[in-house]
Chain A
Amino acid sequence: MKQRSFIIILSLVFAASLLFVTACNTENDGVFYRISESVERVEVGAVTLIMFDGTNIIAHTGLEGIKTYNPTADTWDQLIDQGTDLAVLGARRTDIKNNMLASTGTTLYFATAASNTYNNSLFEYDFSVPTTIPYVAGDFNENYQIKAMSPQADLMVVENGSGEFEVRRPSEAIINTDYVLHTSDTSDFAYEQINLLAIDDAFLITGYNAEKANYRHILYDFSTETMNTDIASMIIAMYENGGNYLFIANNGKIYHGADLENLTEATSTLPLPDTNMAFRTLPVLSDGTDVYVQGANKRIYEIDPSDGSVTDVSSDFDSDITNVEIHSFLSVGTNHYVGTKGHGIMEVVFP
Chain B
Amino acid sequence: MIMKKILIVMLLCVLFPGVLLAQDEGFTSAPRQYGMGSQMFTFRAGPVVPAFFFRPYLSDDQLLSFPEDMHMKVGGYGSIRYQGFLNSTVALGGELGYLFAYDLGSDLFTSVPFQAKLTYIPVQGTFELPLSIGLGFAYNSYNSTPHTSFLSFLATAEAGFSWYFREDWGITLSAGLQLIPELYGKDHDSHDHTTIAGFMPITLSVTYRSN
Contacts and interface: CB of A to CB of B under 8 A. Distances in A.
A36 interface: yes
A28 B64 contact: no
Interface string A324-349: 01000000000000000011000000
How extensive is the interface on chain B, given as a class?
A: 35 or more
Nearest to A275: B145
B104 A38 contact: yes
Interface string B128-143: 0000000101001010
Contact of B142 (A19, A20, A22, A34): A34
How extensive is the interface on chain A, given as a class?
A: 20 to 34
Contacts of A323: 105
A181 interface: no
Given A30-B190, A33-B55, A38 B140 contact: no
Nearest to B196: A32
A23 B152 contact: yes
B195 A30 contact: yes
A24 interface: yes
A30 B61 CA distance: 15
A20 to B, nearest CB: 7
Lowest 5 A-B CB distances belong to which pairs?
Answer: A30-B193, A32-B195, A38-B103, A33-B193, A23-B153
24 contacts: A19-B137, A20-B153, A25-B184, A27-B150, A28-B182, A30-B184, A30-B190, A31-B109, A31-B150, A32-B55, A32-B195, A33-B53, A33-B55, A33-B193, A34-B142, A35-B70, A35-B71, A36-B64, A38-B71, A38-B105, A39-B104, A39-B105, A40-B104, A298-B146
Given A25-B190, A35-B53, 17 more contacts: A19-B137, A20-B153, A23-B181, A25-B150, A28-B148, A28-B182, A29-B190, A30-B184, A30-B193, A30-B194, A31-B148, A32-B195, A32-B197, A33-B190, A35-B109, A38-B71, A298-B145
